[in-house]
């Protein structure tokens, strides 16, 4: 069975989503032209990210190798850093082996025949992370809750807290504080994922998805993952 890609929508409290009844119904109405497109004047996610339609998007198949290479390049430089430790913990506790991403690849969701990898530590005692694991983490776990969104953002260097991208063990205190105080997230954090003119279609779509994860975390709401 060929992959058909994924859609996503931030479950924010925009007027258009309230009128539609729920985020999935809003997406259907948007595709049919039955509701106006969200923009920074009418949608909290679009306002936060300063982009019209920032609250909804797609990741089309196949995901190109440039996007996959970019994603692998965002992994922590060392496994002993705070993002590295959280990455290892998240993969272990979530049972994220890469099997879900491998299945997507077999169905044609990714253009490259094999995943990109990053190896940490000595060859025989090291730790390897693959983009199959990253795609499994992002696309195969259902709707993404705020804590899940934060975990992805931290180990991809996608969020700054108090003007600092968490890296050292001491940065864990600031992360813990914003988790416990959702009302402080908008003022204390920034999204470090930016779209560049040179990005291809797949890279733009992956970046927009990660920016949506940031918006979901800041607003303490889930990101609905549709299709696949």
Closest CA to 127 of 80, 72, 65: 80
Q: What does the pLDDT look like over 147-194, one tens digit per residue?
A: 999 999 999 999 999 999 999 999 999 999 999 999 999 999 999 999
Over residues 218-224, the mean pLDDT reads 98
pTM, two decimal places: 0.95
Helix (H, G, I), strand (E, B) or coil at 159: strand
Q: What does the pLDDT look like over 73-112, one tens digit per residue?
A: 999 999 999 999 999 999 999 999 999 999 999 999 999 9
Closest CA to 96 of 55, 130, 122, 46: 130
Helix ranges restricted to H, 12-81 = 15-20, 23-31, 44-49, 65-73
Within 10 angstroms of residue 123's Cβ, the number of other Cβ atoms is 6
pLDDT band (50, 70, 90) for residue 1: very low
Q: What does the pLDDT look like over 7-31, one tens digit per residue?
A: 999 999 898 898 888 888 999 988 8
Does residue 36 have a pLDDT over 90? no
């Amino acid at each position: 069975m060929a992959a058909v890609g994924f859609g996503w929508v931030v479950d924010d409290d925009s007027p258009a989503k309230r009128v539609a009844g729920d985020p999935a119904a809003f997406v259907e109405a948007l595709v049919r032209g039955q509701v106006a497109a969200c923009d920074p004047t009418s949608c909290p996610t679009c306002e936060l990210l300063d982009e019209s339609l920032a609250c909804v998007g797609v990741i089309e198949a196949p995901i190109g190798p440039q996007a996959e290479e970019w994603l692998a390049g965002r992994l922590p430089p060392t496994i002993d850093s705070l993002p590295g430790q959280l990455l290892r913990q998240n993969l272990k506790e979530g049972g994220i082996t890469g099997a879900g991403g491998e299945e997507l690849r077999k169905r044609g969701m990714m253009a490259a025949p094999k995943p990109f990898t990053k190896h940490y530590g000595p060859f025989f005692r090291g730790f390897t992370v693959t983009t199959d694991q990253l795609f499994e983490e992002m696309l195969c776990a259902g709707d993404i809750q705020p804590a899940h969104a934060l975990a992805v953002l931290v180990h991809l260097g996608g969020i700054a807290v108090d003007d600092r991208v968490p890296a050292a063990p001491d940065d864990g205190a600031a992360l813990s504080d914003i988790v416990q105080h959702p009302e402080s997230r908008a003022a204390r954090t920034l999204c470090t994922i930016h779209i560049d003119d040179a990005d291809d279609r797949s890279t733009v779509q992956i970046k927009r998805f990660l920016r949506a994860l940031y918006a979901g975390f800041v607003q303490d709401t889930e990101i609905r993952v549709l299709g696949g």
